[in-house]
Structure 1
Amino acid sequence: MHQIEQVSTVIIGASFLGLGLASRLGPDVLVIEPSNGVGNEFIRSFRLSDRKYTPVTASGVELLRELILRNVTDEEGRLHLPGMMPVMIQHITGQKLHVRMQTQVVEVHLRDGKFEVVCYDASGFRYFVADRLVDTTSQCVTRNGQGCVKTKSLNMMLLGTFGTHHSEESSAYTIYQGRFPNETVLKFAVDPMDDWITARSKLFDFWLNRPEPLRHCSFVTHADEFDIELDTMQASIQPGWDWLPSAYYANPLEAYDQGYNFEIGGRR
């Protein structure tokens, strides 16, 4: 007979939204993260935005204060994405959040009116039972087929000076500036149905035949994950089970605030 751990809420994804929600609900919440990082929907996808966001929750304000103190963001709201990871890890430790890293969700099913979540990690299968379930991943790993991908891009980090000439090819990409001068991201649009191999191939072909404004730039690296924009802010899979994709939001602090403000069992 396997051992079952009881928690009030299971949150899938140590995303900015997921960590915001966990920060409000407290230590009786379990966060399950498939990877070895947090905030991947922004950090590992190299997702930057031109839109500044000012937090509206006390927890969000405190997080912004810490980011400014660590020189991870500035007054214009520009972000140093790699620097956000250690700040969020420190946040998890300081808030005493229960986060299980490198843990895959195998299946979810109802059991006596509660949700049983079967997971797999380096130690084998683990079983959790919760009153509520919130999936914050972009793909909704607990129930596939939720929502649609509006746009998808494979972003890359650049180094160099950009030209000012504009051409038709420029519609295939957008340039964003991070916190520091050498933190420039090119957002390269791919088809929403493209897999990783296809998207990488398109990116490399584009770079080999890049337009004149990019000729003097160097390809530093590309993101580890897709930058995905979704058309769904929230979907109720069934009572007590919600999909709240953190990637719906353009700014990680906004996603954090939205998670912190979310009322379990209600609407935003």
Structure 2
Amino acid sequence: MTAFHSDAPVLIYGATFAGLAMAYSLGKQSILVERSSLVGHEYVNSYRPGHGLANRPTSGIGQELYDELVRRNIVQADGAVHLPGISPVLFHFIRKHNLNIRMMTEITEVRSTEDGYEVMLYNTSGSQTVQVRNIIDTTSTCGSSHLWNPPILAKSINAILDGPPLAASIGDSGRSYEMVQGGFPSEIYFQLKVDNKDNWIVARDKLHQFWMNRPKMLRPWKLAAVADTFDIKVNQGVQVAAMGSSWLPSCAYDNFMEAFEAGISYAKQEVSPNDFIRNSK
């Protein structure tokens, strides 16, 4: 095991929209750790288009990212979004701004110290230990705290449908499901609410059972693809997680640009403006 003192006093967990925004704003003051090879997964890989994307972000870097998504025809003027096109833009964002990020890296243990936290990491390079002042987890389930189960307000399993465009978002009277128009006419996002305690196997079975027995009004659409991660709703804002670390869930916001702006706002509070490597205004 290799042990070293990190030059980045803040460890950000999760390459979410909020996490990427923090990593940009804090620059070399932070290290971002992501257990998978995915970015923006809380929206992109959960097939969650969100609402309110027609509203422009307020930060300079947020406007830059938003304009890039619009220029590439990923976000439409009315806020409709083509989610599969976002990931390449985010990877370009990481490379362009040289974010201090480690993908496919697990947090295996966290210990409190006098100066903050000792964090054990594991990836293809082996085990490493870093010393950081603060941990901010941006994942939907606070994956950095293995002994803490954060409160979940709602959970759904989503899918992409192929078929005629929607005139407006629709759902059943009990709101057990919702359909949202995507960026292209035949691109429809279907969101089925499941129990908060359902695991992935149970949730997928519920989705397929519902779709095989779907109401007549849903017959024009075909199931094209199922998301590979849950769409989770939790309370917005920073919460205290295990051992005093922080949890700012990126999934808590109405859309991914709001989550990005939340990450910018948190970073402004984390260090003083004079400490920023980059100016996020």
TM norm structure 1: 0.92
CA distance in 1 between partners of 2:171 and 2:196 (Å): 24
Q: Is the CA contact (8 Å cut-off) linking 1:50 and 1:176 kept in structure 2?
A: no
Q: CA deviation at 1:123?
A: 2.3
Q: Does 1:230 align with 2:214?
A: no
Q: Is the CA contact (8 Å cut-off) linking 2:172 and 2:178 kept in structure 1?
A: no
CA distance in 2 between partners of 1:260 and 1:146 (Å): 26
Counterpart position of 2:103:
101
The alignment partner of 1:25 has SS state of helix
**Whose strand fraction is larger, Structure 1's or Structure 2's?**
1
CA distance in 2 between partners of 1:2 and 1:124 (Å): 8
CA distance in 2 between partners of 1:239 and 1:218 (Å): 47
User: Among the aligned pairs, what percent are the same residue?
Assistant: 34
**Residue type at the aligned position of 1:109:** R
Out of 212, 215, 223, which is 1:211 matched to?
A: 215
**Residue type at the aligned position of 1:154:** I
Relative to structure 2, which stretch is displaced further, 229-238 or 189-198? 229-238
Out of 99, 106, 113, which is 1:111 matched to?
A: 113
CA distance in 1 between partners of 2:57 and 2:166 (Å): 35
* Structure 2 portions without partners, runs of 5+: 273-281
The alignment partner of 1:14 has SS state of coil
Q: Is the CA contact (8 Å cut-off) linking 2:157 and 2:227 kept in structure 1?
A: yes
Out of 141, 151, 154, which is 1:151 matched to?
A: 154
CA distance in 2 between partners of 1:226 and 1:257 (Å): 22
Out of 67, 79, 82, which is 2:81 matched to?
A: 79
Matched residues, number: 265
Counterpart position of 1:19:
20
Counterpart position of 2:270:
264
Out of 195, 198, 222, which is 2:199 matched to?
A: 195
CA distance in 2 between partners of 1:2 and 1:59 (Å): 35
Counterpart position of 2:91:
89
CA distance in 2 between partners of 1:169 and 1:208 (Å): 20
Q: CA deviation at 1:237?
A: 3.5
Q: CA deviation at 1:62?
A: 0.8
Q: CA deviation at 1:261?
A: 1.2
CA distance in 2 between partners of 1:82 and 1:163 (Å): 19
Counterpart position of 2:41:
40
Change (3 A) 1:173 1:237: closer
Q: RMSD of the TM alignment (CA)?
A: 2.3
Counterpart position of 2:4:
4
Counterpart position of 1:161:
164
Q: Is the CA contact (8 Å cut-off) linking 1:173 and 1:187 kept in structure 2?
A: yes
Q: Is the CA contact (8 Å cut-off) linking 1:239 and 1:265 kept in structure 2?
A: no
* Structure 1 portions without partners, runs of 5+: none
Q: Is the CA contact (8 Å cut-off) linking 1:151 and 1:192 kept in structure 2?
A: yes
Q: How does 1:54-73 map to 2 (within 5 A)?
A: 54-73=56-75
Q: Is the CA contact (8 Å cut-off) linking 1:157 and 1:185 kept in structure 2?
A: yes
Counterpart position of 1:126:
128
Q: CA deviation at 1:3?
A: 2.8
- Which runs of structure 1 show a deviation greater than 3 angstroms over 4 or more consecutive aligned residues? 144-147, 161-164, 166-171, 237-240
